[in-house]
Amino acid sequence: MQLNSIKPAEGSKKSRRRVGRGIGSGLGKTAGRGHKGQKSRAGGFHKVGFEGGQMPLQRRLPKRGFKSAQLKFNDEVTLADLQKLEAVEIDLLTLKAAGLVRDLVKQVKVIKTGELTRKVALKGIGATAGARAAIEAAGGSVAE
């Protein structure tokens, strides 16, 4: 192979559309812009969502809902997840090391899904009322 023999792949280069170059080109006269109207004129475009003066859709519909940016710092763990862990004392670092919560998380809460049969001690981790009851029934403790 020589530098002067290198060519782009077949069909990878497409010539740009040259408008307004005579009737034979198929893009002469109005140059693909049609007749009259805002879109036919130079500088005749408007912002995204503009509907010709009619109230745009994003303003006709009501504002609804809110999603807190703090949600990415919270996570939840199930009783079934705690059952799988070998550790007896469980804190945030233990859960992160086990891959049960993301590294970004600052607050964790245990929810009552699944069963817990072994004794665990939670440190700095919240628990729902049902989860707390299940943990204490298994002989464990919750210290927030």
pLDDT (tens digit per residue) in 88-116: 999 999 999 999 999 999 999 999 999 99
- Read off the pTM: 0.56
What is the rounded CA–CA span in Å between residue 135 and residue 80?
11
Task: Please check the confidence at residue 13 and state whether its pLDDT lies above 90.
Answer: yes
Number of domains forming the structure of the chain = 1
Among 109, 122, 81, residue whose Cα is nearest residue 135 = 122
Q: Is 103 part of any domain?
A: yes
pLDDT of 33: 93
Answer whether residue 96 is part of any domain. yes
Q: What mean pLDDT do residues 5-9 have?
A: 95
pLDDT tops 90 at residue 38: no
Is 113 part of any domain? yes
Averaged over 73-77, what is the pLDDT?
A: 95
First to last CA, the chain: 70
In the DSSP assignment, the letter for residue 51 is B
Domain that holds residue 116: 69-143
Position 64 in a domain: no
Per-residue pLDDT at 30 exceeds 90: yes
In a domain, 101, yes or no: yes
What pLDDT, on a 0 to 100 scale, did the predictor assign at position 110? 95
- What lies within 8 Å, CB to CB, of 22 at 6+ separation is 28
The CATH number covering residue 93 comes to 3.100.10.10
pLDDT of residue 61: 96
Residue 4, in any domain of the structure: no
Confidence of residue 9 (pLDDT cuts 50, 70, 90): very high
User: What pLDDT is stored for residue 122 in this prediction?
Assistant: 94
Confidence tier at 144 by pLDDT (50, 70, 90)? confident
Q: Decide if 85 is inside a domain.
A: yes
132 located within any domain: yes
Q: Is the pLDDT of residue 136 over 90?
A: yes
